[in-house]
Amino acid sequence: MLWNTILLSFREIKRNVMRSVLTILGVVIGVGAVITMVTIGGGATAQVKEQIASMGSNLLMVTPGKRLGPGQSSNVPLFKVSDGEAIAREVSSIAAVAPVSSQSIKAIFGNQNWSTQVTGSDNQYFKVTNRSLRTGRQFGDSELRSGAAVCIVGETVRKKLFGGQEALGANIRLEKLSCQVIGILEAKGQSTMGMDQDDIVVIPLRTYQRRISGNQDVAMFQVSVQQSASTDKAQRDIRLLMRERRHLSPSDDDNFNVMDMKEIAKMLTGTTQLLTALLSAVAAVSLLVGGIGIMNIMLVSVTERTREIGIRLAIGAFEREVLMQFLVEAVVLSSFGGLIGIVLALGGSFWLARVLRVPFVFNAGIVAVAFLFSAAVGVIFGYFPALKAARLDPIEALRYE
Amino acid sequence: MTISILDQTDKHPLIELKGVTKVYGAGQAAMHALRGIDLRINEGEFVAVMGPSGSGKSTFLNILACLDTPSGGIYKFKGIEVDKLTRSQRTRLRRFYFGFVFQGFNLLNRTSALENVELPLIYRRIGANERHRRAIIALETVGLKGWESHSPGELSGGQQQRVAIARAIVTEPAVLFADEPTGNLDTARSREIMDLLTRLNHDRGITIVMVTHEPDMAAYAKRTVRFLDGLVESDERNGRAA
């Protein structure tokens, strides 16, 4: 019986193809918009998460200055190497501490030159930033101690300076410093902020201090906390330690910052998720409007087919059978709209993901939800017209012209 | 005593009405369509219901067909008091015992003759193959073999009414209710339809209750009931049918 009803509804829909198409347009657009928004939003979120994960999990950044960004006062004391050693020594649950000082320098090899970020650090840097070497080796202890002229380059730098040539063992010039390439970093791609993480040259901190910055300062420490440990606690411990080392009285504000990458990550994913939710909500409204469109047309259809309903009732159709007929028709219509919307949305978001350069994350859940929702729209908005049809008085309906 | 005799002969009349009234509206504006009808119709009868417009004959037919309910009195179908049935039970009666033929044919447009005839079988939950077979036989019975795939729009009035009759008899109903079945047809077509109804009554023993205002058509019936102002004016057997 249900199968018959479904077949019947297909025939009714086919009978008025143009009208049916216009009827479901609202649902098509609604479902399409919701799925596209969620898919693209999900892709963006996934991208942010992935990038943050690749930056190294449980990462804390300890920087001098009162707050992050521009406007920090320049007369705050900078860090020394000993500060990092103190953190590693005195704060438990620390996995690694890397001192980081860096500046933009033009690297030269042969007749090629490339302006890049030169970072002075030690082997902890690779651990903290979750990076590994593709070829070559890390710094040796004596190289770190003596400030040897060796460097490890990122993929972008290698490509720009060496092209197809062998980079390992070659000497590149960083201002006055000529250093030997001893390793090449595994490529990592763009960061969340859109920075090329492979556009980097790492040299021993001592080398950096002596040959480039000319002082004993360390710009910042990157600290990674043990996986099992609480970053909050580590953050608190580092703050207390730093206050002590910097002789701050209880009334003084911090003249340094301990930032948790997790917080930044949360904030960033939170923003994309909120945006996705907002856009989806707007899209969902169009689904609702689509439902009203279906109700409209179903009401017209009931009026148009009053006589038919009368015949069916007179011949012995139960009220609920007439109700079912119109309900099924509405549901078939709206599900059809949902299906078309899903197809369009998947195609559209696949394309959009490429254009916006976010990963295409197929979200089966939202596709299912959107489909069920479109069917539900049919039930909800088809019910009233169907009830109207079923409640018709057969005698009246038969007289209807 | 009388009751026991009735039981012995197992002859509940098919249709029995006692003091059936129908009032539309209420109070001052009340319109009495039926003022107290007593009538029995036995199985196998062919009854023509006549009367001027407004005499209540259509209301009478609607009540018999369970499309409408009486305001007062008792209507028994096969001994069952119909007014005590629920709406869906009355629908069941229509579905399993009644066939309908209307003045306006009332076929589904843009639907083939065959599908129109199959319609009541769908509501009887009969499988597609059996439905198809029976519908073809019914169309053959009304002389429309070869017209199965035509839609009502492609058929003449007489042919449309035959499709309607095929739809009414495909379920092998106990009673066929016909409301002015020849009202929209010319004389020649009307005679064809009446011949068909007579044959169905005679050969298959289908009880027919037909409302008409044409004496020529009523003459085909075995019995004529005349209505006037909501009452039965006369009730007589026709000589011709014998």
Q: Smallest Cβ distance to B125: which of A1, A308, A394?
A: A1
Most confident of A17-31, A263-277, B146-160: B146-160
At residue B97 the predicted structure's pLDDT band, cuts being 50, 70 and 90, is very high
A308 touches chain B (CB under 8 A): yes
B119 touches chain A (CB under 8 A): yes
At residue B48 the predicted structure's pLDDT band, cuts being 50, 70 and 90, is very high
A2 touches chain B (CB under 8 A): no
Percent of chain B clearing pLDDT 90 (strictly above): 59
pLDDT of B7 > 80? The answer is no
Question: How confident is the model over B116-163, as pLDDT tens digits?
Answer: 999 999 888 888 899 999 999 999 999 999 999 999 999 999 999 999
Among B87, B91, B92, pick the best mutation site for testing chain A contact (most A Cβ within 10 A): B91
Please judge whether A316 and B96 are an interchain contact, meaning their C-beta atoms are less than 8 angstroms apart.
yes
Q: Smallest Cβ distance to A395: which of B68, B96, B123?
A: B68
Average pLDDT (B186-201) is 92
Q: Smallest Cβ distance to A307: which of B65, B88, B106?
A: B106
Q: DSSP 3-state assignment of A152?
A: strand
pLDDT of A251 > 90? The answer is no
Rounded CA gap, B60 and B35, in Å? 11
- Backbone φ, ψ for residue A125 (5° rounding): -55, -40
pLDDT confidence of residue B240: 52
- Maximum separation of any 2 CA atoms in chain A, in Å: 105
Please judge whether A319 and B88 are an interchain contact, meaning their C-beta atoms are less than 8 angstroms apart.
yes
How large is the angle between the packed helices B157-169 and B128-141, nearest 10 degrees? 130
Q: Is the ipTM of this complex over 0.90?
A: no
- Residue B3 has, within 13 A of its CA and on its CB side, a CA count of 1
Pick from A267-271, A287-291, A375-379, B212-216: least confident = A267-271
Domain boundaries, chain A: 2-51+266-399, 77-254
pLDDT of B11 > 80? The answer is no
Pairing mode of beta strands B175-179, B98-101: parallel
pLDDT confidence of residue B5: 34
pLDDT of A208 > 70? The answer is yes
Average pLDDT (A197-204) is 91
| CB distance A286 to A345 below 8 Å | no
Q: Which of residues 147-176 of B touch A (CB under 8 A)?
A: 167
- What predicted TM-score, i.e. pTM, was given to this entire model? 0.69
Q: DSSP 3-state assignment of B156?
A: coil
Please judge whether A395 and B62 are an interchain contact, meaning their C-beta atoms are less than 8 angstroms apart.
yes
- Backbone φ, ψ for residue A258 (5° rounding): -115, 110
What is the DSSP code (8-state) at residue B10? T
pLDDT confidence of residue A3: 81
| CB distance A36 to A363 below 8 Å | no
A99, A181, B132 from A150: Cα distances, Å: 17, 6, 90
B240 touches chain A (CB under 8 A): no
Contacts of A8 (CB under 8 A, 6+ apart): A325, A328, A329
Q: Mind listing the domains of chain B with CATH numbers?
A: 11-105+174-237 (3.40.50.300)
pLDDT confidence of residue B6: 37
- Across chain A, what does the average pLDDT equal? 86
Percent of chain A clearing pLDDT 90 (strictly above): 25
Average pLDDT (A33-56) is 80
Among A311, A318, A324, pick the best mutation site for testing chain B contact (most B Cβ within 10 A): A311
pLDDT of B9 > 50? The answer is no
At residue A206 the predicted structure's pLDDT band, cuts being 50, 70 and 90, is very high
Using CA atoms in the order A63, A66, A67, A72, what is the torsion angle rounded to 10 degrees? -100
Report the gap between the CA of A327 and the closest CA in chain B (Å): 17
At residue A51 the predicted structure's pLDDT band, cuts being 50, 70 and 90, is confident
Exposed (0-12), middle (13-18) or buried (19+): which is A24, by Cβ within 10 Å? buried
Q: DSSP 3-state assignment of A377?
A: helix
Among B94, B172, B211, pick the best mutation site for testing chain A contact (most A Cβ within 10 A): B94
- Backbone φ, ψ for residue A117 (5° rounding): -90, 115
pLDDT of A72 > 60? The answer is no
Rounded CA gap, B24 and B35, in Å? 12
pLDDT of A146 > 50? The answer is yes
pLDDT confidence of residue B222: 92
- Across chain B, what does the average pLDDT equal? 88
Please judge whether B119 and A315 are an interchain contact, meaning their C-beta atoms are less than 8 angstroms apart.
yes
Q: What is the edge-to-edge ordering of all strands in the sheet holding B31-41? A: B31-41, B15-24, B72-77, B80-81
Q: DSSP 3-state assignment of A194?
A: coil
pLDDT confidence of residue B4: 35
**Structure tokens belonging to residue A16:** 């008025």
A49 touches chain B (CB under 8 A): no
Rounded CA gap, B2 and B216, in Å? 38
Question: How confident is the model over A312-364, as pLDDT tens digits?
Answer: 999 889 999 899 989 998 999 899 999 999 999 999 999 998 888 888 888 88
pLDDT of B224 > 80? The answer is yes
pLDDT of B47 > 50? The answer is yes
Rounded CA gap, A288 and A277, in Å? 16
Average pLDDT (B105-123) is 90
B96 touches chain A (CB under 8 A): yes
